[in-house]
Amino acid sequence: MSQKGLCFFLMPFLPHAGYFYEYLKQHIEATTDLECRRADTSNESVPIIDEIRQSIQQADVIIADCTGANANVFYELGYAHALNKPTILITADKPEHTPFDVRHLRLILLQEPERLLPHLDDALQSALAQRVSETLYAKALELFEAFRRDQDVRAEVCSLLEFAARLRGASAKADLPSVNDDARFASFVLPLIIANSSDLTVMRQIIGWVDKKTA
């Protein structure tokens, strides 16, 4: 099994889309730790749909080529949004010609080819940061529940958005510990998820709880 993250492409099955995919794949695989895969929605094969859904479920980030508003691409995009997958939308069409349901989302426009790769890099970075935040938030929530049960603490958790902002700040000052390093990881993320970050009693309880767990 590959340890790399998966960047899954939703594209219409057109010859030019193949070249475009190869171009982006080469760039993404050279500049990130992602492996690219493409959905070939060939319209003739039915079982392939299961594979596409599976790839969407596995993907860390999804890039959708919305050009021409292809029906299959939009179905798959809806499926990805239902699963809260980070998505990057690219189009060669004018933004006002993009379907209503996704028009308000950030689009990378192919009409500005020289800005394509910088925009893609930015979008990938924020999509991956969102993914990391979501994963860490879920792990922090688990830890918080265990902490609350053990300590009978009356504390609330902050929102994912607030957690992501705090995580960015904390990561700028210190390296994020590995999730396998239980004690250091808990000491790092638990204070970030407590809604009232100035509640020193809870912060002291966290330190005591982590020390007890690792003693």
Partner 1 sequence: MFDYNKRYIYLSTPQNGQYENVIQLVRDVLRRHNIELLTISDVDTGDDVKLSVKRLIEQSSLVIAEISDLNPNVMYEVGIGQGLNRLIMPLVRQDVKTIPVDLALFWTVIYDPSDLRQLPRLIERWLDTYLQDKREAV
Contact residues for partner 1 (CB under 8 A)? 41-46, 48-49, 52-53, 69-83, 99-105
We find the least distance from the C-beta atom of residue 122 to partner 1, in angstroms, to be 20
Nearer to partner 1, 44 or 114 (CB): 44
Smallest separation (angstroms) from partner 1 to the CB of 57: 9
CB closer to partner 1, 15 vs 47 = 47
Instruction: Give the residue with the Cβ less far from partner 1, 6 or 203.
Output: 6
Nearer to partner 1, 82 or 200 (CB): 82
Residue 58 Cβ vs partner 1, minimum distance, rounded to whole Å: 14
Residues 43 and 46: their CA atoms lie apart, in Å, by 8
The overall longest dimension of the chain from CA atoms, in Å, is 63
E strands present in the chain: 5-12, 34-41, 61-65, 87-91, 107-109
Phi then psi dihedrals of residue 4, to 5 deg: -75, 155
Q: Minimum CB separation from partner 1 for residue 139, in Å?
A: 23
